Structure 1
């Protein structure tokens, strides 16, 4: 099976020019056909036998190009998923132009948090998926009632904060790498506050024991983290109240903030804050992709074998896993 991708552009209705356009790259399982359109234009049909395709929308970290997550998008598409990555240059913070996952700061404030999604790009992305369902190589092949939100860093945060059927009924699960819900002091929160999550859907939080970006950003939250994984672990323990058996915390031994990024880009973002990874990067990426894939197979595709395999990781010793919990 091959994986192909198409590009799309979409306008953000409430954004001002020139910061009102999102560029999408949509990965999908493909099946070579030998058609003239394929030969002349490179338009390869989707593998209809594997449809309808459940959809992953992946939110990048701030100033992290979507191409550094392509490796993950390809691996998930190989499992039969459609995966959306995107690039949006905007001013989420006044005066700061950045490549953003789309963070709605007003919905992060103490008086509004939890009442609305923080992922400001998501309505536009969902509308574009509806359009792709009606035309092009993916027409009629998308399962738009089973959408998974995922992301890295700030993108992971908006993904898990926005994963609620109250906000978006078509969203059914979420995952994040290097993300937490510690409250930012500048928004008016008390120090050392962990904000609650919607806690209505299956969730997987993944972090690394060598995450220097998280470790060196603790002043923004009015606290010194005991470990690099502390806010991720506290988010799992304090932001999730339910015990349905579909929420996971996976802490990777020796992984850093950018272990999910490949190829690594040192020119943007805050990689200069990161600690060196102490385990082989490819092995860490393979484990990240496997864990996310099994999580989706188990709790979105409802595959009993995936649930068994995922649960086996909870009790099997693996030198790349510092800890793995479920509740």
Structure 2
């Protein structure tokens, strides 16, 4: 059984009314028949599966966290606590949107790499400390096994902040439809790929029909195709050398294949149609992410074998696979 509850938290230095994050926390639960459960609907966590590693998921810009609930539920079914959130803020001057929390100032050429680019992450980590001390998850969180994940701009934030110098409690990161090309408008030379932290396990997933990456590639001086930015990020931004960093390009997957259902009224309108069944794509994405975390964060031997079997087997949905 997977249950969830909500929290709200203030972001330090953010200006009201755009200073509040709303969190949804999903966790493995176990019915108890207690009076609190009957009266308030509060179901205890399944303590047999504790301590829980924690996944913090960063949505794409103007993408509600509900789009990723299918993935959050799958990961929680594996014995993880998953935090998704919604935050309306001013990403660019005069432009308000749902945001994963992007500190654009830290992307500047003279600042990149000197500090965190995730303006929401300190608040989220603070909330996890509170959850560890009170409520249904008290004492059940493994706060030294925090995994950052995300989609699109949120995926970039996840990858950039898997940095023990900034957040020593982070153990790994994964991203879908994300890359680390440098925006020309910030003063970078065209085709610049910014370095990523490389001391933790990383998983990059992309699709051959990613119309959003293809359409926006000109902002980075790259060719207008769906995969170049993601592939170059894997090869040029990450040092590797431990066999725990993966690149997976899915044949026929588009930018919003990870989002179900996508909100076409707010999310980017430039995607291409997927050419594989969406349910099959999500199944492969969810299984890959789950096995990646189980293998490289939870260190389950059977997960390592399962991940290799899943990715190395003959699968027409895998267009490109690399590991380093």
The bucket for the TM-score relative to the shorter chain is: over 0.9
Equivalent residue in structure 1 for 2:257, among 259, 262, 276:
259
Cα distance in 1 for residues equivalent to 2:79 and 2:295: 14
Which position in structure 2 is the counterpart of 1:150? 149
| Correspondence for 1:94 | 93
Match of 1:299 among 289, 296, 300: 296
Task: Work out whether residues 313 and 324 of structure 1, in 8 Å CA contact, stay in contact via their aligned partners in 2.
Answer: no
User: Residue in 2 aligned with 1:230?
Assistant: 228
Aligned pairs, number: 324
Task: State whether residues 314 and 325 of structure 1, in contact with CA within 8 Å, keep that contact through their aligned partners in structure 2.
Answer: no
- Aligned 1:102-141 pairs, distance under 5 A: 102-141=101-140
Kept in 1, the 8 Å contact 2:222–2:229? The answer is: no
- Structure 1: where are the runs of 5+ without partners? none
> 1:135, CA displacement in angstroms?
0.5
Moved over 2 A (4+): 312-315
Cα deviations by residue, 1:112-163 (Å, 9 ceiling, x for unpaired): 1111111110000000000000010000000001000000000000110011
Q: Which residue of 2 aligns with 1:37?
A: 36
Q: Which runs of 5+ in 2 are unaligned?
A: none
> Is this contact kept in 2: 1:191–1:222, CA < 8 A?
yes
Partner of residue 169, structure 1: 168
Q: State the 1:232 CA deviation.
A: 0.4
Taking structure 2 as the reference length, the TM-score comes to: 0.99
**Coordinate RMSD, CA, aligned:** 0.8
1:284 is the counterpart of 2:281: yes
Q: Residue 160 of structure 1 aligns with which residue?
A: 159
Corresponding residue of 1:213: 212
Aligned equivalents of 1:254 and 1:301: distance in 2? Answer: 31
Q: Tell me what 1:315 maps to.
A: 312
- Give the conservation status (yes or no) of the 8 Å contact 2:2–2:77: yes
Structure 1 length normalisation: TM-score?
0.98
> Is contact 1:182–1:235 with CA below 8 Å preserved after alignment?
yes
Cα pair 2:190 2:220 within 8 Å, conserved: yes
Deviation at 1:64, TM superposition (A): 0.2
